Chains A and B, each alone.
Chain A
Amino acid sequence: MFALAMRSVRHRPGRFLATLLSAFLGAAITMAFNSLHDTAARPGVDGVSRETLSLVAGVVGGYGTLLVFFAVASTLTVTVRQRAAEIELLRRSGATPGQTGRMVVGEAAAVALAGTVLAALPGMLGGRLLLRLFKDTGQVADSVAYSFGPVALVAGAGTTVLAATGAALLAVRRATRRRGGPRGRARTRLAYAALAVGGAGACSTFAFPSDAEALMAPAASGAILLSIGFALLAPRLLAGLLGRTRPRGASGWLAVRTLPRRADEVSGVLIPLIVFAGTAMATLYMQAVENDAVAASGAVKTVEAKNLETINLVVVGIVVAFSCVMLINSLYAATVHRRREFGRQRLAGATPGQVLGAVGVEGLLMTVTGVLLGTVAGLAGLLPYTFVRTDSLRPGQGPAIWLGVVTVAALATLGTGAVTARRVLRTPAVEAVAAAV
Chain B
Amino acid sequence: MFRRSAARSGTSRTNGREPAGEALRLVGVGRTYGSDESAVTALDGVTLGLARGTFTAVMGPSGSGKSTLLQCAAGLDRPDRGIVMVDGTELSGNGEAALTRWRRERIGFVFQQYNLLPTLTVEQNTVLPLKLAGRRVDRRRTRETLAAVGLGDRLGHLPDQLSGGQRQRVAIARALVTEPRVVFADEPTGALDTRSAREVLELLRDAVRVHGRTVVMVTHDPVAASYADQVVFLADGRLAGTLHAPSVEAVAERLVHLGDEAAHEAHEAHRRDVRGGGPRTGV
Residues of chain A whose beta carbon lies under 8 Å from any beta carbon of chain B:
179, 250, 253-254, 257-258, 261-262, 341, 343-354, 425, 428-430, 433-434
Contact = CB atoms under 8 A, between A and B. Distances in A.
B132 A348 contact: yes
A155 to B, nearest CB: 40
22 contacts: A179-B160, A250-B131, A250-B132, A250-B134, A257-B124, A258-B120, A261-B118, A261-B120, A341-B119, A344-B115, A345-B128, A347-B76, A347-B111, A347-B115, A348-B117, A348-B132, A349-B128, A349-B129, A352-B100, A354-B132, A430-B77, A433-B113
B203 interface: no
A350 to B, nearest CB: 5
Contacts, number: 75
Interface of B: 71, 76-77, 96-97, 100-101, 103-104, 109, 111, 113, 115-120, 124, 128-129, 131-134, 158, 160, 174, 178
Contact of A428 (B77, B101, B115): B77
A346 B129 contact: no
Nearest to A248: B134
B96 A351 contact: yes
A254 B97 contact: no
Given A257-B119, A262-B119, A341-B118, A346 B100 contact: yes
A153 to B, nearest CB: 44
Nearest to A354: B132
Nearest to A252: B131
Nearest to B127: A253
B77 A352 contact: no
Contacts of B101: 351
A355 to B, nearest CB: 10
Given A348-B128, A349-B178, A351-B100, 11 more contacts: A179-B160, A250-B131, A253-B131, A257-B124, A261-B158, A341-B118, A344-B117, A348-B117, A349-B128, A352-B96, A433-B113
Nearest to A348: B128
Nearest to A434: B113
A349 B119 contact: no
A349 B133 contact: yes
* Residue in B96, B132, B160 with the greatest tally of chain A CB atoms within 10 Å: B132
B158 to A, nearest CB: 7
A262 B97 CA distance: 26
A257 B120 contact: yes
A343 B81 CA distance: 26
Contacts of A343: 115
B173 to A, nearest CB: 12
B189 to A, nearest CB: 18
Contacts of B132: 250, 254, 345, 348-351, 354
A257 B120 CA distance: 7
Interface centre among A352, A354, A430 (most CB of B within 10 A): A430
Nearest to A425: B96
Nearest to A253: B131
Contacts of B128: 254, 345, 348-349
Contact of B109 (A347, A350, A352): A347
Contacts of B115: 343-344, 347-348, 433
Nearest to B171: A348
Nearest to B109: A347
A341 B77 CA distance: 19
B157 to A, nearest CB: 12
B117 A345 contact: yes
Given A257-B124, A349-B104, A341 B117 contact: yes
Contacts of A429: 76, 96
